[in-house]
């Protein structure tokens, strides 16, 4: 360095991996944390990685996840949460031609995400139909009635785009399996006699694309961490991302090992310690490229 020359500031470090992390079955299982996972994610963020949580859940606003994840010791900010509700809202807000009025067959968290993105929402009622919605968005709707379904069908038949937050047929609760958003999508698909124009959640690519785009990254550079071979890993392979399948949730080792090669994860981990070494290995491989 030339004597007296001003020391230039260090260029910002743009390395670090983009981790797209599923929630249920990875960070927690229902109310119980998966031991050690929050700590591994905190280490990764401290080391410069970006963590975005990607869940097919369409019923909650992102703010509802923050407190729970903080209590578990996981690194989190509201904008690090990508539910299928939020990704749907961001997609519609950026759509061409513009989407203005959205009819929502879904939960209040979905309505809130759509409004946060600047969209006007209307309920599936005759009055909502009179607002001439550009799109009908379908998520899990615990207030589903024949009347709500009938109005949503009519809006689609009158030309509104048909957008599904996800197609999960069922999901697990403490009381066993219950119908998921996909069951509502199927009912509307049958009634409207056409499939959705867009399905945002996993195994499709849109949720991961929206998350990666929010931090200016390419989803193909991400590492997906998930417990669902048919959802998380399928979506990772769709966008060309590397993946770690966690055996802490819905997929067994036997199921993982019976997948055809093109549907397999990059690595499999049984617990937090194995996730830590899997991510270290993927980081070393990335640095060597
Ligand atoms: Mg999961």
Count of beta carbons in the 10 Å neighbourhood of residue 30: 9
Tens digits of residue pLDDT in 192-219: 999 999 999 999 999 999 999 999 999 9
pLDDT for residue 6 is more than 70: no
Q: What is the pLDDT of residue 67?
A: 92
Q: What is the pLDDT of residue 3?
A: 43
| Span from the CA of 183 to the centroid of ligand 1 (angstroms) | 18
Q: What is the pTM of this model?
A: 0.92
| Span from the CA of 28 to the centroid of ligand 1 (angstroms) | 9
| Span from the CA of 248 to the centroid of ligand 1 (angstroms) | 9
CA distance linking residue 200 with residue 235, whole number of Å: 11
User: Quick one: average pLDDT of 98-115?
Assistant: 97
Which distant-in-sequence residues (6+ apart) come within 8 Å of 168 by Cβ? 56, 180, 181, 182, 201, 231
- Protein residues within 5 Å, CB atom, of ion ligand 1: 22, 24-25, 227-228, 249
User: Quick one: average pLDDT of 105-129?
Assistant: 98
Which distant-in-sequence residues (6+ apart) come within 8 Å of 222 by Cβ? 17, 18, 19, 20, 208, 212, 236, 239, 241, 242
pLDDT for residue 13 is more than 70: no
Q: What is the pLDDT of residue 14?
A: 53
Tens digits of residue pLDDT in 152-183: 999 999 999 999 999 999 988 888 899 999 99
Bridge-partner residues for 164, per DSSP? 138, 199
Q: What is the pLDDT of residue 186?
A: 98
CA distance linking residue 229 with residue 120, whole number of Å: 36
At 5 the three-state DSSP class reads coil
| DSSP at 23 | -
Nearest 5°: the CA angle 279, 281, 287 is 100
Q: Which domains does the chain have, with CATH numbers?
A: 18-56+203-288 (3.40.50.1000), 96-199 (3.40.50.1000)
Report the catalytic residues. Answer: 22, 24
Average confidence score pLDDT of the chain: 94
At 19 the three-state DSSP class reads strand
Residue 215 main-chain phi, psi, to 5 deg: -115, 20
| Span from the CA of 228 to the centroid of ligand 1 (angstroms) | 6
pLDDT for residue 12 is more than 50: no
Bridge-partner residues for 171, per DSSP? 178
Q: Which residue has the tokens 């996972």?
A: 37
Q: What is the pLDDT of residue 288?
A: 85
| Span from the CA of 84 to the centroid of ligand 1 (angstroms) | 13
State how far the alpha carbon of 175 is from the alpha carbons of 30, 50, 172, 178, in Å.
Answer: 11, 35, 8, 8
Please answer whether residues 203 and 168 qualify as being in contact, where contact means their C-beta atoms are separated by less than 8 angstroms.
no
| Span from the CA of 58 to the centroid of ligand 1 (angstroms) | 14
pLDDT for residue 10 is more than 80: no
| Span from the CA of 51 to the centroid of ligand 1 (angstroms) | 16
| DSSP at 152 | H
| Span from the CA of 151 to the centroid of ligand 1 (angstroms) | 32
| DSSP at 50 | E
């Amino acid at each position: 360095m030339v004597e007296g020359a001003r020391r230039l500031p260090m260029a910002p470090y743009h390395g670090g991996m983009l981790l797209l992390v599923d929630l249920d079955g990875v960070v927690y299982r229902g109310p119980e944390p998966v031991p050690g996972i929050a700590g591994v994610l905190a280490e990764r963020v401290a080391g410069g990685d970006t963590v975005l949580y990607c869940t097919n859940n369409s019923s909650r606003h992102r703010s509802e996840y923050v407190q729970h994840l903080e209590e578990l010791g996981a690194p989190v900010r509201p904008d690090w949460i990508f539910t299928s509700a939020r990704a749907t809202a961001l997609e519609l807000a950026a759509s061409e031609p513009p989407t203005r009025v959205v009819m929502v067959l879904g939960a209040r968290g979905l309505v809130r995400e759509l409004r946060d993105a600047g969209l006007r929402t209307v309920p599936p009622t005759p009055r909502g139909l009179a607002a001439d919605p550009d799109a009908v968005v379908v998520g899990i709707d615990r207030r589903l009635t024949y009347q709500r379904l009938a109005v949503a069908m009519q809006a689609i038949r009158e030309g509104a785009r048909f957008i599904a937050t996800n197609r999960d047929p069922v999901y697990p609760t403490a009381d066993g399996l219950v119908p998921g958003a996909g069951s509502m999508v199927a009912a509307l698909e049958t009634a409207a006699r056409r499939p959705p124009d867009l399905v945002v959640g996993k195994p499709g690519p849109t949720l991961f694309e929206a998350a990666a785009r929010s931090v200016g990254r390419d989803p193909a550079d991400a590492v997906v961490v998930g417990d669902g071979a048919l959802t998380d890993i399928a979506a990772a392979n769709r966008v060309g991302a590397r993946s770690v399948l966690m055996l802490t949730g819905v997929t067994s080792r036997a199921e993982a090992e019976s997948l055809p090669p093109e549907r397999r994860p990059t690595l499999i981990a049984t617990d937090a310690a194995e996730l830590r070494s899997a991510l270290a290995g993927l980081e070393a491989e990335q640095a060597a490229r």
